[in-house]
Amino acid sequence: MDERKCCTTTVKFTSKEGEGFVWEHVHQIWSEETEIKKDDSNWII
């Protein structure tokens, strides 16, 4: 059985004045590993 256990998600969004954030694109990469071994993620909100 092909089982996916972990996912890295990248989201691209823009902000529009007076309207908040608009999601432009969501990309997911699935892995059979139980966890991400190296996480260089940046969160900018």
pLDDT in tens, 27-37: 888 877 766 56
Whole-angstrom distance, CA of residue 27 vs CA of residue 44: 17
Q: Model pTM?
A: 0.46
pLDDT in tens, 1-37: 566 667 788 889 888 888 888 888 998 888 777 665 6
Report residue 22 as tokens.
């608009």
| CA-based R_g, the chain, Å | 14
Q: What is the DSSP string of the chain?
A: -----EEEEEEEEEEETTTEEEEEEEEEEEESSSS-S--------
- Return the residue matching tokens 């608009």: 22
